[in-house]
């Protein structure tokens, strides 16, 4: 049995799992928002509350990091992971906020499909964070997150093409292009989490 004079602060893993749990909640709310036609604009308020919770958790992680001498993984990786997880929730919130802002009254192709991919990605992100603590399974999760991001790219490209083909109102085109871009951005942010976790695993293998 190895003896550590200064024990590691392992609470960071619990913090990351708590953040990932909130991502799942936010992503599920986003999926519910676009599941009906017209979309449920009030979900934007619920998503904003989840985004505030993620901001609080990110702040807690960084505050604890500043007070902790020995960490389970490198300090810069803890900081980056907290920020990157928060970026996912920010992207979800940004996309959802446009629905009431732009008074969206129907769901165009791509939005519902991308919201489902975001929800699936958030679930795998949670699995990846749990796997990081267990030191097993992170790479498999990263592969799945990357696959989902590629799927989102295909849906986004098709949706934007259909938008320009079908919509004659230039204002509607601008609104929906921004919404579709932000939805796709949320999957990019999930991929950022996957890439960071892969780097952590490689660094400590």
* pLDDT tens, position by position, 17-39: 999 999 999 999 999 999 999 99
Q: Which residues contact 6 (CB under 8 A, 6 or more apart)?
A: 69, 70
% the chain with pLDDT above 90: 80
Domain boundaries, the chain: 11-203
- How high is the pLDDT of residue 203? 82
Q: Are 94 and 104 in contact, with CB atoms under 8 Å apart? A: no
Q: Are 182 and 70 in contact, with CB atoms under 8 Å apart? A: no
Average pLDDT, the chain: 92
Cα separations in angstroms, 111 against 69, 187, 188: 45, 13, 15
> What's the CATH number for 11-203?
1.20.58.220
């Amino acid at each position: 049995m190895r003896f550590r004079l200064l024990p590691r602060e392992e609470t960071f893993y619990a913090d990351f799992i708590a953040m990932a749990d909130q991502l799942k909640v936010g992503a599920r709310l986003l999926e519910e928002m676009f599941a009906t036609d017209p979309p449920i604009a009030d979900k934007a308020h619920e998503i904003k509350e989840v985004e505030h919770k993620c901001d609080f958790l990110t702040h807690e992680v960084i505050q604890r990091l500043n007070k902790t001498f020995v960490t389970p993984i490198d300090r810069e990786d803890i900081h980056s992971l907290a920020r990157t997880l928060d970026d996912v929730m920010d992207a979800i919130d940004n996309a959802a906020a446009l629905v009431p802002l732009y008074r969206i009254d129907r769901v165009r192709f791509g939005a519902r499909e991308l919201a489902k991919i975001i929800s699936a990605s958030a679930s795998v992100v949670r699995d990846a964070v749990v796997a990081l603590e267990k030191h097993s399974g992170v790479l498999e999760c990263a592969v799945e997150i990357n696959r989902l991001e590629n799927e989102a790219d295909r849906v986004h490209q098709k949706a934007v093409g259909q938008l320009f083909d079908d919509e004659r109102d230039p204002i509607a085109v601008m609104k929906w292009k921004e919404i579709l871009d932000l939805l796709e951005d949320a999957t990019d942010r999930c991929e950022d989490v996957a890439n960071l976790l892969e780097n952590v695993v490689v660094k400590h293998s």
